[in-house]
Amino acid sequence: MDFDGYLEDLKKASFYRGQIIHVQTIPPQPAQYGTLESPLHPTLQDCLDKLEIRDLYSHQATAINEARSGNHVTVVTATASGKTLCYNLPVLDNLLNESGGRAFYLFPTKALAQDQLGKLDDFGLFPTIRHATYDGDTSASDRRYVKRGAHIVLTNPDMLHVGILPYHTTWSAFLANLKYVVVDELHTYRGVFGAHVASVFHRLRRLCAVYGANPQFLCCSATVANPVELTERLTGITAPMVVDNNGAPTGKRYFVFWNPPLLDAEQSRRRSAHTEATNLFTNLVARGVRNITFAKARKSAELILRYARNEFQTSAPHLLPRITSYRSGYTKEERRAIEQGLFEGKIIGVTATNALELGIDVGGLDATVITGYPGSIASTWQQAGRAGRRGAQALSILIGMDNPLDQFLMRHPEYFFGKAHEKGVVDPNNRRILEQHLLCAAYERPLSKGDMIRFGKNAEAATHNLLEQDKIFYRQERYHFRGGGYPARTVNIRSTGDSVYRILNRALGDKFLGTVEGSIAFKTLHEGAIYLHLGETYEVEELNITGKTAYVFPTEGQHYTEPRENAHILILNTLQSRGMGETQAHFGEVVVTNQVVGYRKKRLFSDEVLEVTDLDLPEQTFETEAFWFTIPDKLMLEFVFKGGDLGGSIHAIEHAIIGMMPLMATCDRWDLGGVSHTNHPDTASPTIFVYDAYSGGVGIAEATYPTLQLLLRATQQMIAECPCAEGCPSCVQSPKCGNNNQPLDKHGANELLDILLRDTA
């Protein structure tokens, strides 16, 4: 398609108000091919010939050669570069040559496992090589077959944790012959989920050693800045070979930065990004441009579709069957039908959450629309990369939202296109998470002193805590599980806590709906909260704290809610300190006392604040990790002497730093918390803290601490360039603030940062 002409036509559309602020043209790249050091098994080569795969790209050949040499491998190349062959070919080749081998394929979602099952089917090697999925949808009879007969088992970390490792004796033959562990979409295992998965892999490798196996890890990831560190921290292996010489061809790509027009210049309030997405989606579909329009929330994806249908009802009813939405919560059959419709071109446009960001093959799309910066450069390219597969030209449009990071990137597209990808952050030493998995490991097989090395530096302390809690006992130089049942069933690997709140649907006679971990229950299940479950919207009618139960009812309301929080912080242990100009920066362990004090009700799409409500909920206390820095007396006096508002300025800096932190690490602002204090009791100075909003910490503050100076410079630049008069959601206001964003001094924040950074390199 002629995207140059399309962009010119777009500027003539009725909704266009100068939103295109940057167009980056990325030239096409020809394919680069490589060769294998030795031929594949003849049967496998015949399969490739039938699939019309004549040559291998350079990264595929390199990865296969390294894998066949016995090395752990991490492939880090772009979306649609053919990473699947990087692990399928060495695994299938080995199984054809040595039929006794076994392999686990691990994917973050069941949908992705099903997609990859189809790719194995395409080789036509059954029954010589038997492969099957093993997840929560697998029947009891099929599970027995998979354990006994499958060479390749496709599953997910959740099932490995709760459905395989606790029953390892029934998997003994499989584990004894386990040759490969394939970990796809490695970059998705970060934060809390990544910390859990790291422990799950430690448990897997420990049991493999018991059965005499030492599997080889073959990993694939979107581009990250630290592939070796991420692989090692997540899997426990050492020295993986990184393959990043992407040889796949790419077509010419047009990447557009699209900033919604200002509605109120003084407040820097812009037209809703969701309205912009709806306009672009309908425009692309009307022109026959096959596209995915990504939204951050399921409700947003559904509403974009609803508004598009309303428009086409009168203007182009023939297009109604050719648009749909895609999100979690749909049945497997519904998802497969949508994917097939996209692949075959029967569906022109899909509104989707990031459920379609991962590597499910939906054929050659023309365009992607990304509604709001996804939070990392890697995720942005993942979503953009869904278009232009197989070397075709593609268009990607990133729509800016009203928040500091989005608006900073809208003003500095060169930062996005010139910056390296973020680090993948995972902390395998989170003490609370480690305790949960050491208990699971003790159930699976009593722990030895040698196991402490496998589980990392905090394992001995965590084991001691389990002993004190009488959850394990020591006998014959081993730690044994004490108790009934198996502990894995009580550990949710997508949360930090073991305390959970039940959610009951009052419209269906208090039918069980789901659970939420206790640490976030007050944020998500307070009275009046809008709660999303499988794409449906519910309002919380009652939160019973004593009974740890929330009662909800379905609603069709066109609003969502944001909690407001207050926090207090105490320093437990300073682990690192360093100079930063005339001040000091620190990293360490802290105790946070947090209280949800209210919430804002906001209209969907426009984000207009409809109502602000106060709440009376108890405080919650947890230990976590933080970085902080002080304002020395000399600098404070200089600032105040100039007439600066110290309290409002450090409060504004705290908000702005959190808004900008995804520039430095793969995280979301909701993963973080902050406190600013004009005279903190532990430092006796004005101090700004930023902490991981999860018990024990998940590595975000630790990863950001070394780059704090760069973060502060980007924060100052963002504040200085925001066109608002006194501060707005695009710079220093925070949706989480429990003090209704008071006091805030945007100009004072800029001046104070200037003083703090003036003597730094």
| Angle at CA of residue 585, ends 580 and 590, nearest 5° | 175
In the Cβ-directed half-sphere of 177, how many Cα atoms lie within 13 Å?
18
- Tens digits of per-residue pLDDT, 422-439? 778 888 998 889 999 999
The SS3 of residue 442 is helix
How distant, in Å, are the alpha carbons of 194, 198, 299, 698 from that of 189? 4, 9, 25, 12
Q: What is the pLDDT of residue 534?
A: 57
DSSP state of 608: -
Dump pLDDT digits (tens) for 643-660. Answer: 999 999 999 999 999 999
Instruction: State which H helix or E strand residue 103 sits in.
Output: strand 102-106
Bond preceding residue 428 cis, omega within 30 of 0? no
Say how far apart CA 131 and CA 129 lie, in whole Å. 7
Q: Residue 380 belongs to what H/E stretch?
A: helix 377-384
User: pLDDT tens across 535-567, in order?
Assistant: 578 999 999 999 999 999 999 888 889 899 999
Instruction: Give per-residue pLDDT as tens, 62-71.
Output: 999 999 999 9
Q: Enumerate residues 6+ apart whose C-beta is below 8 A from 448.
A: 477, 478
- Over the stretch 43-52, which tens digit does the pLDDT of each residue have? 999 999 999 9
702-713 as b/e, with b when 16 or more CB fall inside 10 Å?
Answer: bbbbeebbebbe
The H-assigned helical ranges of 598-641 are 633-641
Residue in this structure with the two tokens 């926090």, named with its chain if needed = 567
Q: Give the angle subtended at the CA of 670 by the CAs of 75 and 261, to the nearest 5°.
A: 90
Starting at the earlier edge strand, list the strands of the sheet with 549-554.
511-517, 500-505, 549-554, 536-544, 530-533
pLDDT at 227 over 90: yes
Cβ-based neighbours of 647, under 8 Å, separated by 6 or more: 676, 678, 743
pTM for the model stands at 0.86
Query: What pLDDT score was predicted for residue 680?
Result: 97
243 closest CA partner among 262, 227, 259:
227
Question: Per-residue b/e over 155-180, b at no fewer than 16 CB within 10 Å?
Answer: bbbbbbbbbbbbebeebeebbebbbb
Split at pLDDT 50, 70, 90, the class of 181 is very high
53 burial (CB, 10 Å; 0-12 / 13-18 / 19+) is: middle
